[in-house]
């Protein structure tokens, strides 16, 4: 299995000895050794994934990298966070998924009204299995624990990913922007309940003022 390690906080180094990984197209910045590259359509998710992406307007172009040596990845100087999967499932915004072990299964999951966020469709990318994934964030990501007695409310512009036994729902009404006078129309928040982890970034992506 490929070995993921960070060089600084904004470059991912992947050591491979005949292994392969899937990475965001165009994210490779250097490599040594012998590597082969192959473009995968629809994020490597097959026909269903391609149709889903087309319907939601999301663009997720993925490449497979295989060989012996080290390959370095980065994405617009974003911070990189490593996530270890042990048979569980990670839900992540497609734009924040940088690289995964080739053995991890990727797919899509319907998430509903969060599609009101500009640039985000109605589906979230899922990564499942045993191995490592690298996700990006604008600024250092914060990992927040959700407990059975401690639900968590997140602004949709700051949400990156989540994992664990969590229920995700959407609440309309007051959001953080409302207090700043930046909201308009009916705004919403994402509510997480159950037991798991939520990854948020300190910089909000562009959304339509969080409106639905």
Tens-place pLDDT, residues 158-190: 999 999 999 988 877 655 555 555 554 446 788
pLDDT at res. 119: 42
Q: Which residue has the higher pLDDT, 44 or 111?
A: 111
pLDDT at 91 over 80: yes
- CA dist 97 and 115 (Å) reads 18
pLDDT at res. 212: 32
pLDDT at res. 122: 54
User: Closest Cα partner for 159 from 181, 175, 148?
Assistant: 175
pLDDT at 22 over 80: yes
pLDDT at 77 over 90: yes
- CA dist 119 and 117 (Å) reads 6
pLDDT at res. 15: 98
Q: Which residue has the higher pLDDT, 55 or 144?
A: 144
pLDDT tens-digit series, residues 94-152: 889 999 999 999 988 876 544 444 444 456 899 999 999 999 999 999 999 999 999 99
| pLDDT band, very low/low/confident/very high, at 205 (cuts 50, 70, 90) | low
What value does the mean pLDDT take over residues 32-42?
87
């Amino acid at each position: 299995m490929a070995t993921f390690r960070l060089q600084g906080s904004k470059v991912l180094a992947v050591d491979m000895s005949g292994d392969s990984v899937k990475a965001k197209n165009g994210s490779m910045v250097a490599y040594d050794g012998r590597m082969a590259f192959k473009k995968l359509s629809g994020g490597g998710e097959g026909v269903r994934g391609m149709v889903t992406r087309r319907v939601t307007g999301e663009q997720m172009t993925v490449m497979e990298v295989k060989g012996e040596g080290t390959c370095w990845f980065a994405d617009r100087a974003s911070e990189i966070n490593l996530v270890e999967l042990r048979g569980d499932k990670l839900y992540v915004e497609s734009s924040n998924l940088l690289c995964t072990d080739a053995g991890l299964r990727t797919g899509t999951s319907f998430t509903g009204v969060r599609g009101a966020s500009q640039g985000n469709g109605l589906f979230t990318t899922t990564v499942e299995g045993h191995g490592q994934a690298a996700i990006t964030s604008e600024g250092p990501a914060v990992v927040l624990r959700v407990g059975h007695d401690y639900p968590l409310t997140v602004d949709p512009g700051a949400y990156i990913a989540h994992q664990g036994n969590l229920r995700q729902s959407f609440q309309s009404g007051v959001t953080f922007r409302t207090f700043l006078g930046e909201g308009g129309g009916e705004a919403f928040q994402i509510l997480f309940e159950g037991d798991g982890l939520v990854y948020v970034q300190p910089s909000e992506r562009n959304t339509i003022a969080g409106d639905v």
